[in-house]
Structure 1
Amino acid sequence: MMKNYTLFLALIICTLFSCSRSNTKFLKKLEDSVKFYSDQANKNKVKYSTFYLSSITDFEWDKFYIFDEYVTNEMINEITGLTWDGANVPGGNRRIVFIYKKKIVQYVDFEPYQFPVFFYTCGGTEQYEFSKQDDLFAVYYRCDKNGCIYVMVPERCAKSIMRLD
């Protein structure tokens, strides 16, 4: 009886506080990898280091998007062309949404103030969208008068992006 009550109470608390299914395990792997490879970038001639994003995922994906804070699930549906009833992107967060075979399979929310990683595309785009062809990412650490960030950009266009820094 007590076990059922505890389970019921946990369900109520989760509902009230909007428990997230955000993949925190992946986020930890991403943080560790970005920091490691950006440290390696400081030690080589090209000033960036590379890794395959798929090497730290334990799920299949063929595309992913980056969404900024306050993007609603309706906007995510409109941009991706898929139907998803997940939560809106919380204030102060960004969201990475992974898609496989036209289904959203994972997402992760992160706070750029705690983990300042920015993803850049190879061309001008309204939405940050990456396909599996861009699985190999260049990573480096960049500082300017506004602060320091980790940069992730598809390796095929890393040198072009770095020239803009």
Structure 2
Amino acid sequence: MPRMRGHRNWAGTSVIAVTLWLACGVAMSGCGRGKERAALATKLEQRIRSATEVGDAFHLSEVTDFDWDTLHVFTPYVVAEEVRQSLGNDWSGARDIYESECLLVFVKEGRVVMDLEFPRMKGDFSAMKKYRFSRDEARFAAPKDGRRLTHAMDAP
């Protein structure tokens, strides 16, 4: 009987160890994505600032170092259900968008590869007439007066 008890303790300990190992792996992968998001936010903010200084347009691919084919821009007051419907899948990162931000979602072949909650005070994407852009179309004008970004339709 004591052997069974020891066996049970070993099995229980193994289950706990595996669970902790998996949890750490998930946490570490989330941290990596957090660093990627922070780097993207910094690059985008700097590019918007430099474009605004001269009233220039920029292409979003200038600040991304990952592969994507479609950009979705979700503006304030969009709810999670609208995000899911627009993406055409049940993306677990879908959430309500607050007044102070826009959510940029980068998709590759129907799968979300990156998302970024971007503060409107650093670059306001909320004035677009459309909110889904192919990689080639993802060109935005940053007016010198600091108003909202607009879609640069005359992208070369």
Query: TM-score, normalising length from structure 1?
Result: 0.62
- Number of aligned pairs? 129
Question: Aligned pair in 2 of structure 1 residues 108, 135: CA closer, same or farther (>3 Å)?
Answer: same
Displacement of 1:52 in angstroms is 2.2
Distance 1:116-1:33 versus aligned 2 partners, 3 A rule: closer
SS, match of residue 65 in structure 2:
coil
Q: Which has the larger radius of gyration?
A: 2
Is 1:104 aligned with 2:112? yes
Question: Which amino acid in 1 is paired with 2:41?
Answer: L
Separation in structure 1 between the aligned mates of residue 97 and residue 133 of structure 2, nearest angstrom: 22
**Higher helix fraction (1 or 2):** 2
Cα–Cα, structure 1 residues 59 and 112, in superposed 2: closer, same or farther, change >3 Å?
same
How far, CA to CA, are the matches of 2:61 and 2:75 in structure 1?
Answer: 22
Instruction: Show structure 2 runs of 5+ residues with no match.
Output: 1-19
Whether the aligned pair in 2 keeps the contact of 1:89 and 1:109 (CA below 8 Å) is: no
**Structure 2 residue corresponding to 1:54, chosen from 58, 61, 68:** 61
Q: 1:109 to 1:58 in 2, by over 3 A?
A: same
Q: Could you list the runs of 4 or more consecutive aligned residues of structure 1 that deviate by over 4 angstroms after TM superposition?
A: none
3-state DSSP class of the match of 2:67?
Answer: coil
Shift of 1:105: 0.6
SS in 2 for 1:117: coil
Deviation of 1:90 after TM superposition, in Å, equals: 4.9
Find the residue that maps to 2:90 and give its secondary structure. coil
The percentage of aligned residue pairs carrying the same residue is: 25
Which residue, out of 43, 46, 59, partners 1:32?
46
Q: Secondary structure at the match of 2:50?
A: helix
Report the aligned-residue RMSD.
3.3
- The structure richer in strand per residue is 1
